[in-house]
């Protein structure tokens, strides 16, 4: 947040609002008691002691109730704690401490100085609690705890007759709560002496690092990625794993189903399909949404949930990828998964928007059978890990064919300044003769593969190579030729981008397809979904205004992120081809693996 916005927020919440509450409290006190509360003198020792006791007791009460009830702890976390963290992120500790102190004094002037003499201790405490969002059902737990704290502050005022007592208690509570945001207290005994430390809370996904193994593993172990074989794409450096999980917090899971051989029996098999799940962070996505943008290169597809992402600019569920006719079953299973995590959906709050992308794997798979089950979806979600991402013929990529060869899941990443951008593709698009790798038309050279490839024409230019004879090329409608495919691209970054900027990023991701020969054919559904793990949006918030920090459009980092999207998508598609193994599907259809050794030899020749 820029300094002007920071000071505007402080002046509004830390000065104007407390001043208004204080003025109201002074007027009420004058009307009810005939005098103004005296806060201009120094507090007495008795008032100071009572205030310290009330503040400590209030903080201890909140901690104890949170420990006794996991549901209450979650409610407090969703409301007061997260609201405090958002303001703290905007203001920083010095201004935040000043803000919570002035707010405490303003509230005590109003509720204890003015309202308590008028309506009594308990009604004033109730009104105090209600003022903390009690009109919103999701905030009732937070409001009830605030009312209990108000009772303690009111008791301190009733016992001492000095408004300094509740003002000190309330300030102590607020300041200590601020210092504890994102931290917890650890006590270690060294003999008779306790050592008390403030320790940062672990990330939300830390408890989920250990994940169960996949319940539906792929029988097709991946081959090495292109970079592992020495083929470097682009100029920007990759992340440590060179996959989408290099973006902190992002996890990917797969579930694969391979059953049966021989002729197609619609509804029964053979089965060559699966589902892939991408989780932007390890928390509750419905409660903590992430900004997202969508670009549709060619809309021949049945993806679900994208319209709301375009409209609202947020993603509130994990992303699932699967085959076309299983997309709707996958969406239903994803809704069930989200309802388990958020039982209030559709009852006391809004409905949920499941996001599912799809490609047609019907060349190898009994797609009519819709063999992706709810158990597979759950296995992919619960088995998601922080990488390395398994690539090739796995999960949603099991039955996919890309540019005339076995395709599937591919992933890559790039580092840009202090940020990371990762791409994951479900590659199922294009014709063989269009395949380009680093500008070399390897698809034309492999037009008749797995037959021995024709020797390339002499001379430096690949343009001199004769095209395959028309009578030898696959005919449209040839049963051995895959139907028009599609591609789903998911981009993730930890750069602080909003939905508009992420949509711009998604457009650049589509350029990576052109580098490998993609042309967005009529029957190809080509979708790009980009999200950022920065600047999460709470489902509920106590404040109507939200302040975030964004990367400038005219920054050098933004241009590099655009380049990163192109490079990562290009390499992700190449990785899908390099890692996938040959798969034989229904009716004996074979999707051959790319002959990597031959391709690398041609690429090496072109570099000389």
Q: What does the alpha-carbon distance between residue 416 and residue 430 come to, in Å, rounded to a whole number?
A: 30
Contact at 8 Å (CB) between 278 and 381? no
The pairing of beta strand 537-538 with beta strand 525-532: unpaired
H/E segment holding residue 276: strand 271-279
Give the tokens for residue 337: 């998964």
Catalytic residue among 486, 494, 532, 560: 486
* Half-sphere exposure for 76 (CA within 13 Å, toward CB): 19
* 526 is an active site residue: yes
Q: What does the alpha-carbon distance between residue 549 and residue 112 come to, in Å, rounded to a whole number?
A: 38
* 524 is an active site residue: yes
CB atoms within 10 A of CB 422: 31
Q: What does the alpha-carbon distance between residue 323 and residue 488 come to, in Å, rounded to a whole number?
A: 11
Among candidates 131, 156, 124, which has minimal Cα distance to 80? Answer: 131
The pairing of beta strand 408-416 with beta strand 419-428: antiparallel
Catalytic residue among 243, 366, 526, 560: 526
Q: What does the alpha-carbon distance between residue 149 and residue 54 come to, in Å, rounded to a whole number?
A: 8
Unique residue bearing structure tokens 């490609």: 359
Q: How many residues does the chain have?
A: 608
Concatenated DSSP letters of 413-426 = EEEETTEEEEEEEE
Packing angle, helices 17-33 and 93-108, rounded to 10 = 20
Query: What residues have CB less than 8 Å from 536, skipping those under 6 apart?
Result: 281, 288, 289, 290
Contact at 8 Å (CB) between 212 and 382? yes
As to burial, measured by CB atoms within 10 angstroms (0-12 exposed, 13-18 middle, 19+ buried), residue 96 is buried
* 131 is an active site residue: no
- Cα angle vertex 409, ends 408, 414, to 5°? 140
What is the set of active-site residues? 486, 524, 526
């Amino acid at each position: 947040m820029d300094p002007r916005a920071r000071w505007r927020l402080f002046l509004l919440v830390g000065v104007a609002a407390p001043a208004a509450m204080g003025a109201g409290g002074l007027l009420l006190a004058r009307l009810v008691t005939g005098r103004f509360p005296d806060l201009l003198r120094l507090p007495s020792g008795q008032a100071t002691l009572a205030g310290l006791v009330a503040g400590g007791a209030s903080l201890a009460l909140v901690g104890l109730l949170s420990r006794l009830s996991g549901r209450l702890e979650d409610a407090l976390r969703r409301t007061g704690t997260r609201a405090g963290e958002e303001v703290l992120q905007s203001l920083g500790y010095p201004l935040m401490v000043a803000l919570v102190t002035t707010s405490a004094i303003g509230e005590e002037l109003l509720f204890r100085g003015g309202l308590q003499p008028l309506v009594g201790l308990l009604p004033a405490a109730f009104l105090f609690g209600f003022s903390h969002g009690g009109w919103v059902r999701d905030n009732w737990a937070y409001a009830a705890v605030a009312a209990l704290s108000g009772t303690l502050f009111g008791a301190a005022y009733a016992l001492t007759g000095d408004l300094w007592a509740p003002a000190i208690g309330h300030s102590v509570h607020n300041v200590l709560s601020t210092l504890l945001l994102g931290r917890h207290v650890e006590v270690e005994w060294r003999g008779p002496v306790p050592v008390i430390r403030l320790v940062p809370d672990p990330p939300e996904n830390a408890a989920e690092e250990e994940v169960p193994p996949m319940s539906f593993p792929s029988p097709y172990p991946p081959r090495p990625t292109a970079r592992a074989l020495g083929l470097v794409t682009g100029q920007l450096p990759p992340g440590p794993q060179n996959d989408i999980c290099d973006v902190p917090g992002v996890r990917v899971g797969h579930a694969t189903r391979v059953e049966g051989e021989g002729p197609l029996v619609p509804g029964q098999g053979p089965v060559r399909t699966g589902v892939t799940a991408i989780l932007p962070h390890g928390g509750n996505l419905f409660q903590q949404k992430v900004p997202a943008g969508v670009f549709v290169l060619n809309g021949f597809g049945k993806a679900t949930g994208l319209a709301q992402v375009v409209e609202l600019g947020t993603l509130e569920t994990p992303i699932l990828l699967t085959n076309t006719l299983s997309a709707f079953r996958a969406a239903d299973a994803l809704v069930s998964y989200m309802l388990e995590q958020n039982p209030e959906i559709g009852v006391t709050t809004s409905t949920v928007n499941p996001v599912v992308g799809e490609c047609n794997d019907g060349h190898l798979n009994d797609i009519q059978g819709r063999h992706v089950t709810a158990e597979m979806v759950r296995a992919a979600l619960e088995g998601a890990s922080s990488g390395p991402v398994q690539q090739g013929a796995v999960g949603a990529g099991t039955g996919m064919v890309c540019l005339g060869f076995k395709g599937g899941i591919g992933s890559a990443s790039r580092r840009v300044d202090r940020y990371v951008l990762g791409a994951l593709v479900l590659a199922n698009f294009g014709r063989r003769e269009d395949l380009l790798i680093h500008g070399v038309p390897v698809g034309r050279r492999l037009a008749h593969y797995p037959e021995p490839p024709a020797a390339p024409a002499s001379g430096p230019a690949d343009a001199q190579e004769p095209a395959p004879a028309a009578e030898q090329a696959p005919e449209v409608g040839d049963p051995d030729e895959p139907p028009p495919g599609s591609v789903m691209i998911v981009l993730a970054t930890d750069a602080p981008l909003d939905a508009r900027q992420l949509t711009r990023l998604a457009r650049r991701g589509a350029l990576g397809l052109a580098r490998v020969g993609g042309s967005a054919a009529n029957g190809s559904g080509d979708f790009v979904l980009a999200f950022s793990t920065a600047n999460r949006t709470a489902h509920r918030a106590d404040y109507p205004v939200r302040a975030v920090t964004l990367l400038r459009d005219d920054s050098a980092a933004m241009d590099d992120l655009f380049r990163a999207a192109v490079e990562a998508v290009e390499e992700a598609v190449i990785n899908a081809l390099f890692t996938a193994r040959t798969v034989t599907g229904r009716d004996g259809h074979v999707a051959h693996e790319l002959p990597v050794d031959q391709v690398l030899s041609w690429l090496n020749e072109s570099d000389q």
